[in-house]
Structure 1
Amino acid sequence: MRFSLLALACATTALPALADEINVYSHRQPELIQPLVDAFTAETGITVNVAFVDKGMAERLVAEGARSPADLVLTVDIARLQQIVDAGVTQPVQSDVLEANIPADLRDAEDHWFGLTSRARIVYASVDRVAEGEVTTYEDLADPKWKGRVCIRSGTNDYNVALTAAMLAHHGVEETRAWLEGVKANLARKPEGGDRDQVKAIAAGQCDIAVGNTYYIGQMLNDPEQKEAAEAVRILFPIFEGAGTHLNVSGVAMTKAAPNRENALKFMEWLSSDEAQRIYAETNHEFPVKPEVAKSALVASWGTFTPDPMPLTDVAKLRPDALKLIEEVNFDG
């Protein structure tokens, strides 16, 4: 029996446990995980049905309850992972393989979620108009010298909310509010688009620096239509004053309903394997979470950095407060 993406996306009744299938709700773009799905199916014969769920994943799983067809959730951002866990729709997974492959600081202490990749929230800087060392901290983004020179996507985007939550964890409410107001005052245009659009804006001369995730540069450099724009910027790894560079994760969790639990666990464990981690590194330009797997040559060429030691779970807890501050300063207005 085979289920189309449409059928899976619309399913509201429990599916039978099938020997050769698993069902995944994914917040990740389909093209980013298809190479992983293809490799897993080729190795195991297990078909992975993926339904792309852009918004309301936790709410959907709550509504479906025990009837949910989903075995696993794949998503980006620690806050999204924690939100799904807090909704009570996941189950703990005990696995020696996952514990051996994924460092403890990149998985849930109660075994509800497991990080699969990490990425840094960094600064894209114009090769021609910004010198090395001009931006060394996230706090620098609020410096008046950048007035009219900064681009960024919506402040309420998950990645920017997480960055703001980390700023809150380091500096508290008032300093974070002042930082948000300072960054807003420096914007060259209203927040818009995605991270790739910020790179294109720098290449077009609309701004000189922007905030984005590392892996987008790798994807753009491998896209003939976007390569020229990507070559117009360099990657800078800012830090929080006295700390390190902000990291976030993509991760996986098993749903409480999980009609195909055994095969779902096989997929989770495989995603932490050397082969899957290499695919993440080479195809998606993300940082592998398994320490033994090297970064891609391209990613390694960007240089080294010191990760922020702030626990991701501490950052996730501050997400509501961060979003409130972003809205209070009307960052996107």
Structure 2
Amino acid sequence: MTFRTLLMASTAAALLAPAAQADVNIYSYRQPELIQPMLDAFTQETGIRTNIAFLNKGLVERLQAEGDRSPADIILTTDISRLSAAVAAGVTQPVDSAVLEENIPAAFRDPGDQWFGLTTRARIVYASKDRVDPAEVTTYEDLTDPKWQGRICTRSGTHPYNLALVAAVIHHHGEEAAKTWLEGVKANLARKPQGNDRAQVKAIWAGECDISLGNTYYMGKMLEDEEQQDWANAVNVLFPEFQNGGTHVNVSGIAMTRAAPNRDDALQLMEFLASPRAQALYAEVNHEYPVSPTTEASDLVQSWGTFTPDDVNLMDLAALRGTALRLVEEVDFDG
């Protein structure tokens, strides 16, 4: 049995154990190994221990079922839609913290102080070094050009990462234009949407397609994996923009649960993760961009190039998620 399987099997019981076994309990959509270095640093600095339950689905539903008896103090998740869904479900509480306000720009936190971004990632284009001139892909609108027919790979259109991008298309161009954009991208697909973002880069390396959509941090993850380094080295990272905006970005973030039995310790964890030390470590370990304006991305991440983030309010995109999903289904994007 793998460590992750053991962790998932034992965590629920551990969270319900006496409080002495953990001072801050975390429900996380993020895999434990991605955030454990930051949690270890937090414990080293404060003496406060943490316990994490990895839930790849049903996090909000679990908190709703547990209600005020929930042992969870904190939720960690990726994607603005998941953060806003937790707020809408009433399983979080507002947090008033001068430290969080100082370290996290307003664009990356909830106006009602219910959630706070910790890192950002750009939704970019991976392009074959051998078959694609980087100058050919400068905007997201370029992806509908007939020259890409049979040359694009992507994961499912219903995945939260792609739905957030579609929501951004709706924001910039309206619903009808977004539907046309989806139809244009679908017409250019080399294969049925499948796999994760890394699988698309593998397909480029294998010659199955020439460009793909993906998050920036996957480049770092592939370079860390001996079996995937050839995939990563076969592509360039390109930062398309919207014709009237910038490069689409999303966040990983944190929120305090409504029940939060260890509220004071949980607040310390939130403030620590927003601190320059943790922001630098978070960005280095996960190859993401820190939200703190005083913390730079790692040398590796900076080597991929610079871009101008789209300035759309992330809550506006979250509000468009339902429309984005409906459009993806209407055009049968994954069919």
Structures share fold, TM-score greater than 0.5: yes
Q: After alignment, is 319-328 or 35-44 more displaced?
A: 35-44
Q: What's 1:236 paired with? A: 238
Q: What's 2:3 paired with? A: none
Contact 2:22 2:51 in 1 (8 A): no
Shift of 1:8: 3.9
Of 58, 71, 74, which residue of structure 1 is paired with 2:73? 71
Structure 2 counterparts to residues 1-333 of structure 1, below 5 A:
6-9=9-12, 18=20, 21-333=23-335
**CA deviation digits over 1:141-172, x for unaligned, max 9?**
11111000000000010000000001011111
Hey, what's the Cα distance between the residues in 1 that align with 2:18 and 2:114? 23
TM-score (norm 2): 0.95
Q: SS in structure 2 opposite 1:94? A: coil
Shift of 1:303: 1.3
Which amino acid is 2:120 matched to? S
Contact 2:15 2:25 in 1 (8 A): no
Q: What's 2:4 paired with? A: none
Identity across aligned pairs (percent)?
Answer: 64
Shift of 1:225: 1.6
Q: CA RMSD in A?
A: 1.5
Q: SS in structure 2 opposite 1:59? A: helix
Q: SS in structure 2 opposite 1:211? A: strand
Contact 1:120 1:245 in 2 (8 A): yes
Structure 1 unmatched runs, 5+? none
Q: SS in structure 2 opposite 1:98? A: helix
Hey, what's the Cα distance between the residues in 2 that align with 1:55 and 1:5? 12
Q: After alignment, is 17-26 or 41-50 more displaced?
A: 17-26
Contact 1:177 1:325 in 2 (8 A): yes
**CA deviation digits over 1:260-296, x for unaligned, max 9?**
1111111100001111111122111100001111111
Hey, what's the Cα distance between the residues in 2 that align with 1:179 and 1:11? 47
Moved over 3 A (4+): 4-8, 10-13, 15-20
TM-score (norm 1): 0.96
Structure with the bigger percentage of helix = 2
Q: SS in structure 1 opposite 2:40? A: helix
Hey, what's the Cα distance between the residues in 2 that align with 1:217 and 1:130? 18
Q: SS in structure 1 opposite 2:227? A: coil
Label 1:52 to 1:19 Cα distance change in 2 as closer, same or farther (>3 A).
closer
**CA deviation digits over 1:213-259, x for unaligned, max 9?**
00000111122221111000000000111110000000000000001
Hey, what's the Cα distance between the residues in 2 that align with 1:124 and 1:224? 19
**CA deviation digits over 1:157-213, x for unaligned, max 9?**
000000000101111111111110111111111111111111111011110000000
Hey, what's the Cα distance between the residues in 2 that align with 1:122 and 1:147? 19
Label 1:30 to 1:12 Cα distance change in 2 as closer, same or farther (>3 A).
closer
Structure 2 unmatched runs, 5+? 1-6
Q: SS in structure 1 opposite 2:162? A: helix
Which amino acid is 1:213 matched to? N
Shift of 1:57: 1.3
Hey, what's the Cα distance between the residues in 2 that align with 1:197 and 1:28? 19
Contact 2:156 2:193 in 1 (8 A): yes
Contact 1:124 1:211 in 2 (8 A): yes
Hey, what's the Cα distance between the residues in 1 that align with 2:36 and 2:200? 26
Label 1:126 to 1:214 Cα distance change in 2 as closer, same or farther (>3 A).
same
Q: SS in structure 2 opposite 1:198? A: helix
Q: SS in structure 1 opposite 2:156? A: coil
Contact 1:168 1:318 in 2 (8 A): yes
